[in-house]
Amino acid sequence: MDRGFVFTIDAMVGAAIIAFVVLSFTFTVQQPVRESVVLDRMATDALAVLDARGAFDSRDIAAINTTVRETLPSVVSYAFFIEYYNVTAGGGLAIDRNMSVNLVPDNKDIVYASRPVPIFVNETVSSSIKNLTAVAKVRLGVAL
């Protein structure tokens, strides 16, 4: 009689372990690939640094490309797309120009970050004299 009792408890413990294993695999959440998270953060941070440096104020593609190259690590491939919108007299925005550089090989996965960048004149003068002249919509993509 004791053997049946022990066997039943063994079977219940085994069933609980099997149920726990099956449920743990069922409810696992797929975590994002670490590389894409790192690249997303790198693109976002690089855009903030480039904006703080005033890299997009010049509207010169060669100067912007040089600043991006200096900002990112040398092992990172990058692409950027910029759309400049001029502020009209009525306060609206009118498209001025598009610029792009793509140095990412076709076989690489690229992660993009985007940011609007205000372009001011008289930026060194007090804030009451600054004039918003344009807005740049910047998309920066990075890949390893």
Interaxial angle between packed helices 61-71 and 34-53, expressed in degrees from 0 to 180 and rounded to the nearest 10: 130
Exposed/middle/buried for residue 39 (C-beta within 10 Å: 0-12, 13-18, 19+): buried
pLDDT at 20 over 60: yes
Token output for 40: 């997303």
Give the model confidence (pLDDT) of 52-101 as tens digits.
888 888 888 999 999 999 999 888 899 999 999 988 878 788 888 888 88
pTM over 0.85, yes/no: no
pLDDT of residue 33: 65
Q: 110-141: per-residue pLDDT in tens?
A: 889 998 988 876 555 455 545 678 888 999 99
Structure letter (DSSP) for residue 32: P
Nearest to 135 by CA among 112, 122, 118: 118
